[in-house]
Structures are given as C-alpha cells and as structure tokens.
Amino acid sequence: MRRVAGMGFGRWAIPILPLAMAIPAFGVSCITQSQMNAQERDALRQAATGIVGNVEAANAEAVKAQTIGSVAAQFEGIAGSIQSVSPSLQHATLTVDELYALDATELKSAQDVQFFCGLPASSLTVEIDIPNLPPGKYALAVVHATGVKNPQALSMVLQNDLPGSPTWKLAGFFVRPMTMGGEDGIWFWKRAREYAEKKESWNA
C-alpha cells in the first residue's frame, strides 16, 4: 500500500486489492489510462507535464496559477514541496507513468470516497481513497523523475472544474522518493524474499 498526504483533500491511498473485494462507492467511477481514448489521455498528460515542468523550474507561482481556487488559497505547503524537490529534478527524465480518471460528479455532497480502478477481467485492481471529496470530475497522475541521483515520484490529483472543458488544474500534490539508501523498491522486495526463503520472518 502507498499511503500519502494529499494536499487539498486530506489523506488518500493506493493499495492493490483483489477485484472481488472491489465494491465502489455509489455514484463514483474510475477508468485507467488503457481504458481512456487518446484525447482523454493526451489532455491529462499535457496537464501533468505542464505542472511538473514548473515544479522542476521551481516556479511555484506558475503552479499556483494551474491550481484550483480552494487549494491555491492555502498554497504554502505545496510551495514548500516545490522548493524542496526542484533541485532533485534537474536534468531528470520525466515520465507520466500512471493516469486514472475519477468521476465523482454524482455525489450529493463532500464525503470520503473510494475509487476502484481496473479492467473487469483482471484479478487485481487499484484502490484510491480520497476523504472529504467534493462532487466533481478528477484524475490522478503519477510522474516519475528518473535518471538522476535521487529519483522522485510526483503524484497529482487533478480536477476539471469547468464542465465541458478539457482544462485540468492541480487539486492535490505529493512527492515521494523512489529510493532509500540508494536502493529502489525492487531491491528491498528481493531482499525480503531472500529472508523469507531462509525463514527469517523478522528480517523479511
């Protein structure tokens, strides 16, 4: 499970769960990037790369201009994250690795929402939890900054706050390092398997 603090809506999480457990909240839906048409994918990629480009340039004011009003009014935390991560992004390869379209337009009021994203025939799905989410049309974009000493994953909740418009704005932002002690998640996963095979459960 990846649990992060989503600025703008409190906390959100992305665990991988069996599809049989996936009972979505009434009135919300999610589609993955493979289920989107080219126009939908391109609009989200363009929004995500535009925001991350300004993060790389440490241009907090430009990111604020790309942010929905309610989040822009309390922008200090995001501005601090931008200034902290920008040096790690210089000369990085920026890749939009994950896109999810989240439809909560049928909600009657702000509430805790669980989105379950995945193909019906798949045995796994992705769960995205966003507490106190107002009704609206959202997306989650995850951009990986690689090829640098400290690779980063930048996760963004985007909102389309103009019905009928392709414009997406930032509604939440979180930065997570992709390595720890110079090693990535795959390295730790392999070490854990090795310990498990030796019956060293505590180390695993």
Neighbours of 184 (CB within 10 A): 13
| Pair of tokens at residue 44 | 């989200």
* Of 120 and 153, more confident: 153
List, for residues 34-67, the tens digit of each pLDDT value: 999 999 999 999 999 999 999 999 999 999 999 9
* Of 174 and 195, more confident: 174
Q: pLDDT confidence of 164, banded at 50, 70, 90? A: low
Does position 10 have pLDDT exceeding 70, yes or no? no
CA 138, CA 200: separation in Å to the nearest integer?
A: 43
CA 172, CA 174: separation in Å to the nearest integer?
A: 7
